Amino acid sequence: MALGRDYQRLRFERAGRVLTVTIDTPGAMNPVDGRLHQELAALFPDLGADPDSDVIVLTGAEPGFCAGGDMAWFQAMIDEPGRFRAIAADAKRIILGALEMEKPVVCRMNGPAAGLGASLALLCDIIVAADTASIGDPHVKMGLVAGDGGALLWPQIIGYPRAKELLLTGDMVAAPRAAEIGLINDAVPAAALDDRVDALTAKLAGGARWAQRWTKAAINLPLRDLANQISEAAIAYEMITQASPDHGEAVAAFADRRPPRFTGG
């Protein structure tokens, strides 16, 4: 039990006024399943209301950050399309909840951040990655629209040409390159990641609480407006592609450990 809710896919650890939230799901690299998706929709309002923290660190259980959608969960939603429709509202809650939460959030990106995992990283205020980590939004490789944050966040951070290239190819970006193009703040040797995050959170925790929070709130106002303009349509487009033959083929190909054979369906 943490923050007044029974979280099962997220772990919490306090160090003074710094609260670390660790994504910890069954499977390699902390994939997103239905339970985690539901918890993420509640997380940011809960963090904002938590009276015992001023700075949040978001990370993943070793060795990864968050690998995006779990394939068994994808298959279950193909088998029962109503399950995908049911999570659409939560997808928007995750995005807006993160943008509306005023406390500063530092992403400790200790491994791959893909799909929704990449969106979670990019929704943080400062992103520090191990130089062995990578980030990308491979929705299109799964026959899906990048609806749960990708279409909103990437163009605002790195500009439209680079965002289009990376979202339309679904390629992963090594952390040093991500830092070079301004997608994340910094890539440091893996052994130095904790020291860098600790120094940053100590500086934030020692700052003027309300000045920091309301500066973040002011900066995020345009993103919140864009989220309200873009998210519903992007999630609806993703919902349409969730029912497409190409998405079904991508999930089957992953299970069969072979390249997908897309037909444009």
Domain extent, residue 33, equals 10-191+205-209
CATH classification of the domain holding 32: 3.90.226.10
Question: Would residue 129 count as lying in a domain?
Answer: yes
pTM: 0.96
Question: Would residue 168 count as lying in a domain?
Answer: yes
Q: Per-residue pLDDT tens for 162-175? A: 999 999 999 999 99
Residue 22 predicted with pLDDT over 60: yes
How many structural domains compose the chain?
1
Q: How many Cα atoms are found within 13 Å in the side-chain-facing hemisphere of 101?
A: 28
Question: Would residue 196 count as lying in a domain?
Answer: no
Question: Would residue 244 count as lying in a domain?
Answer: no
217 touches 102 (CB < 8 A): yes
Residue 27: predicted pLDDT: 81
| Confidence category of residue 1, pLDDT binned at 50, 70, 90 | very low
Question: Would residue 53 count as lying in a domain?
Answer: yes
Q: Per-residue pLDDT tens for 117-161? A: 999 999 999 999 999 999 999 999 999 999 999 999 999 999 999
| Confidence category of residue 2, pLDDT binned at 50, 70, 90 | low
Residue 66: predicted pLDDT: 98
Residue 116: predicted pLDDT: 97
- Please state the rounded mean pLDDT for residues 47-75: 96
Question: Would residue 43 count as lying in a domain?
Answer: yes
Residue 4 predicted with pLDDT over 80: no
Question: Would residue 224 count as lying in a domain?
Answer: no
- Please state the rounded mean pLDDT for residues 9-27: 96
Question: Would residue 96 count as lying in a domain?
Answer: yes
Q: Per-residue pLDDT tens for 173-224? A: 999 999 999 999 999 999 999 999 999 999 999 999 999 999 999 999 999 9
